Structure 1
């Protein structure tokens, strides 16, 4: 089982004491082998990873851990088998001792769009909500964050994160197996909170924005990335069923509507930083994610539309502030 005691100890007596108190039950519930039948094999793959000290680590322009020459041939085969046991890998990419994990998403491209317009992360305490396998958490730490905590309820993502964390054990970067609804209420503790690719999965988006605000210190910054639809103030697309073959998409607001939601949730200083239509180069099937991907979700005769006939995925990055 994954050991969260170092994180609990680090948070004791801090503004995140309430979170420290919640971690044991969150770990027990989120990493329950009776609930997740594949989890024991994933944990076995984590345990089977070779013990290696990376000769170098890069977390700024990419996530690269170690070099091929740090391993023997036997260790390289062992590492590759352990990493492949957790396929599909969706967020990345990662370079681990020469093994290139070519993930479904070029999350580094999203990061390049996000980082250019937000407040510097140096010395900040950062929360990443719905962080997947934690790619962006490592990039946040690479930007100088003092501590990064990601949360995601998927145990596969949690174990993938710890496959990377194994070689960065002392870094103050952690991923907890929980959704935002399991966080203690009114933490008021983080300098920056990220919510990327989450809002459209929430049945009540304004409640989600209020939950995000409650994680922040007074004056803290929210970085929100989500799907949108073109339209005027008040417009929001609610799919009849699936959207781009996803069955849990609830609302795709226009940018003016999203900004209104943020104001109604209590945010100020709201700025639109980037608008981007997802390309077939940014989200695609690879050897590390061999299932259907974006090209399969779009109309084969008109890639400006989803297979259901809705506008193709377009994403926005917005920065907003919790009032003092």
Structure 2
């Protein structure tokens, strides 16, 4: 028996945008484009794997979920899986590999992989969240946009921190379906609870996913109190355009959380890798923190501050059973882990917070 997870999630997204448009007319632009956005990601002509991914999500077993913890380092879904449900779910989730952002735990106890399913992702995304979360403005009751959100792990954590509406965007067909797989088990655990709720117009999910890149969104929507861009800027050929697009999504006084690769140096230091950087061929600009502060100010942000700088360790990003390709250890100089294979400084990430 197939489940309706994707259909339900997309209907909830539509209803959320409809409700939003009644207060913020710029959301009507989003509604107009939504059918195209959601249609394109399922189109086999665009994504050969789309039908297989959809089938994997649709065949996930319907379980009785006792509790969902969106505020724990491992996003935890408490449920009891019998052996056949566990095998079925495990096989279907493995068809959605590689899993890069997480971790997730479905059933069983944390640390007990026998009775449950632990999706041990390439990234310990919880570590990044631990570095970022203490510096954020209040997320409770706010509208949040997570740009380049991958599987949606951080988006769920934003909902766990009390955000009213979280919209994750990422153009990846795979990541969209990974989000839907987790959504299947989360169910309505992130729904709004209103004592006076009318069942037909409340109970909206709080966490949504639109499978598009930032530049596909209507510019200057000014819909969000907080916008996250984590691990995106260095993939952009035009960093200023990216910063301006982020700014356009923020309400006046809204908060940008920008996390990106940086290098040591002064306000004039920017590395433009000649070919690849840590084996990635789509890395364009790695500024120093001081340069990045200048970029944000030039793009019209104020109160810019750097709240964290961390060198990425091979414990934070590594190969796992759920991501079996090369990972960070393979991209560093085997004789000097402070350098990438190409001889550039090893990945170091900074988090900056700024106001519109």
Confirm whether residue 252 of structure 1 aligns to residue 286 of structure 2.
Answer: yes
Q: After the TM superposition, which parts of structure 1 deviate over 3 Å for at least 4 consecutive aligned residues?
A: none
* Cα RMSD (Å): 1.1
Question: Residues 20-71 of structure 1: CA distance to partner in whole angstroms, max 9, x if unpaired?
Answer: 222111112233212211121111111110011211111112310123xx22
Instruction: Classify the secondary structure of the residue corresponding to 1:108.
Output: helix
Q: How does 1:231-310 map to 2 (within 5 A)?
A: 231-310=265-344
**Which residue number corresponds to residue 250 of structure 2?**
216
**Which residue number corresponds to residue 48 of structure 2?**
37
Confirm whether residue 65 of structure 1 aligns to residue 77 of structure 2.
Answer: yes
Mapped partners of 2:141, 2:185: distance in 1: 22
Confirm whether residue 84 of structure 1 aligns to residue 84 of structure 2.
Answer: no
Mapped partners of 2:23, 2:184: distance in 1: 25
Mapped partners of 2:221, 2:70: distance in 1: 28
Mapped partners of 1:252, 1:43: distance in 2: 36
Q: CA deviation at 1:243?
A: 0.1
Q: Which runs of 5+ in 1 are unaligned?
A: none
Instruction: Classify the secondary structure of the residue corresponding to 1:145.
Output: coil
Match of 1:207 among 241, 245, 250: 241
Q: CA deviation at 1:8?
A: 1.1
Mapped partners of 2:346, 2:184: distance in 1: 38
Instruction: Classify the secondary structure of the residue corresponding to 1:55.
Output: strand
Question: Residues 204-241 of structure 1: CA distance to partner in whole angstroms, max 9, x if unpaired?
Answer: 10110000000000000000000001111121000000
Q: CA deviation at 1:5?
A: 2.3
Q: How does 1:23-172 map to 2 (within 5 A)?
A: 23-62=34-73, 63-67=75-79, 70-97=80-107, 98-170=116-188, 171=190, 172=206
Q: Which runs of 5+ in 2 are unaligned?
A: 108-115, 191-205
Mapped partners of 2:348, 2:16: distance in 1: 39
